[in-house]
A and B are shown apart, each in its own frame.
Chain A
Amino acid sequence: MDPDPPNRQSPLDKGSGEYRVGILGKTAKLGPVLLVGLGVSYVSVFLFIPIIFTAVLSLEGASYQHIFTTELYRNILLRSLRVAVEVSVLSLVLGYPVAYYLAKLTSMRRETVVVLLMFPLFVSFLIRTYSWFYVIGSRGLVNYILLTLGLIESPIKFLFTEGAVVLGLVNWSLPLMILPIYSAVEKMDNNLIEMSKNLGANEISTFRQVTFPLSLPGVASGVMLVFILSFGAYITPAILGGPEQAMIANLISALYLVMFDWPLGTAMSVILAVITLAIVYLYNKIIGLNRLLEAMG
């Protein structure tokens, strides 16, 4: 996850890289096992094992076949993919300039920017989502303005459409997209840009051939995060979308909690999990998850 911390060789260093300075002065093997073991086993027991168990359980029925042959379920899968792609593209297009601009701003220190971006995350997402009712609802701000200006006769239906869901998700995704890109651009070596200009390239060329390619890891991080979270989103489609806009997560919830069809529910969960893992795996292969950690913190 990172090369060793930037500390010079300590006299306590046993040469193999194992430190004796630590919480447990015993053999360095015991220390990490206990510490890390705790965290890992906790997550394992309560996240991974249940998922594996669920996957195994899902094989009980002939659910998968059913899923792919039923039009309703297929539609939901496709819709989820479509929405996720739309959200990713939109937040990339909207977020990249913001990230770039922020990174070039010399007056702001890195921490301030991170804080600024983290701020919306603190405010309840549920509330942020349903407050859109008051903006795009039939009695909300937008319609009010349009009606008063005389541009329309009766309220336009913005709510409970796929557009509303995309809007809500982009709203959520923007900070997630901006942060990694900002990180990537900010960390870039300015010398490279200088050199490019010295060699005669103008602003646009410099951007196209130097800045943008170097920012791609950040872009990839952002896109991966946004895609995964949009694909598996529950709250936004549940609140801002109608039955027509149901996505995978909504389906899973309904199967479990309303229809009590656990075999089918578990199968759908597995499909979602597999797709998510596939993307994460791909990302890890190409970029590496360590990058994500750096970008975020």
Chain B
Amino acid sequence: MIYAFILVPAAFVILMSFHPAVIPTFPPPSVTFKWYIELARDIRLVKAVSNSLIVGISATILAGIIGTMTSIGLVRYRFRGRETLSALVIAPMVFPEIILGASLLTFMLRILALPLSRYSYLYMIVGHTVFILPYVIMNVHARVYGLDRSLEEAAMNLGANPVQTFGQVTLPLILPSILSGMLLAFAMSLDDYTASQFWVMPQTETIPVRIFSALRTELPPTINALATLLILTTLLLFYLQVMVSRRVSLRTGR
């Protein structure tokens, strides 16, 4: 019902990516694949894809590590100010990204004196990590919270030290959640424009940046083709995420 409302427009992009003419009209007169071929030849777009991957994967890995550690610390230990800190870490999710983009730019440029032209990738990775971190944390947190301690205690009782316990008992148990969070985080990074616009240079343009600037000028059908591919990719990510989450449930029977 409402669901259709949310998704139908997206279906249109996919539709239009097959449209032959340059300016799409509805309904499309015929179907063609030629824009996809054009896509592969467009150097700027190919570069955008690789940039998105570079930034996305780096940020996701970084967020995965930091997020997991933070999550575990927040769940397992009690200390003063825990609530405040957990709110703090989730904050990037509620905060308008525009502020993140603008202030990080200001900060890194003025205080850290890192010229954008040379450090654009750094800006991007650092910045993306900040706003995708909450996604990892939320996923891992739920899992760690409900984890049955007796397994770890059993390991300790059998003589394993804390490091071994973590590596061989805890980590495998929470790994699906970490992956699940990372997949979501990656999807978020892939789609970001609002914050990224402050940190990109022409060479470090990512997919959303490229799409957005295309919207400003013309709307070449190749963009639709790119968009469709992006949708398919994220659908794949989503599918993976669901599969991973299922494994979690099956393992613990919850």
Contact = CB atoms under 8 A, between A and B. Distances in A.
Interface of A: 1-2, 4-7, 10-12, 17-19, 21-25, 28-29, 31-32, 34-40, 42-44, 46-51, 53-54, 57, 94-95, 98, 111, 115-116, 118-128, 130-135, 139-141, 144, 171, 174-175, 224-225, 228-229, 231-235, 238-239, 248-249, 252-253, 256-257, 262, 265-266, 269, 272-273, 276, 280, 284, 289-290, 292-293, 296-297
B179 to A, nearest CB: 15
A224 B95 CA distance: 11
B124 interface: no
B104 interface: yes
B187 interface: yes
5 contacts: A10-B149, A19-B77, A51-B99, A134-B13, A233-B96
A1 B86 contact: yes
B129 A42 contact: yes
Nearest to A143: B26
Given A269-B102, A297-B142, A12 B198 contact: no
B211 A127 contact: yes
B138 A269 contact: no
B9 A39 contact: no
B45 to A, nearest CB: 14
A257 B70 CA distance: 34
B6 A38 contact: no
Contacts of B156: 12, 21
A293 B138 contact: yes
B141 to A, nearest CB: 7
Given A42-B129, A126-B191, 16 more contacts: A23-B162, A39-B67, A39-B71, A43-B92, A123-B7, A127-B211, A127-B230, A135-B12, A174-B5, A232-B98, A233-B96, A234-B98, A234-B193, A253-B102, A272-B96, A297-B138
What is the predominant secondary structure among interface residues of chain A facing chain B? helix
Nearest to A114: B245
A249 B194 contact: yes
A1 B88 contact: no
Contacts of A233: 96
A126 B88 contact: no
B190 interface: yes
A131 B133 CA distance: 28
Contacts of A174: 2, 5-6
B231 interface: yes
Query: Which of A24, A126, A266, A269 counts the most B-chain CB atoms under 10 A from its CB?
Result: A126
Contacts of A50: 103-104, 106-108
B78 A4 contact: yes
A22 B77 contact: yes
Contact of A253 (B98, B142, B237): B98
A246 B27 CA distance: 31
B37 interface: no
Contacts of B141: 293, 297
A296 B138 contact: yes
B10 A10 contact: no
Contact of A289 (B2, B16, B87, B92): B87
A119 B238 contact: yes
A10 to B, nearest CB: 6
A252 B3 CA distance: 33
Contacts of B7: 120, 123
Interface string B4-38: 01111111110110000001111100000000000
A131 to B, nearest CB: 4
A144 B12 CA distance: 14
B49 to A, nearest CB: 13
A134 B26 contact: yes
B201 to A, nearest CB: 12
Contact of A111 (B187, B238, B249): B249
Contact of B191 (A47, A124, A265): A124
Contacts of B5: 171, 174
Contact of A262 (B76, B106, B197): B106
B85 A132 contact: no
A40 B85 contact: yes
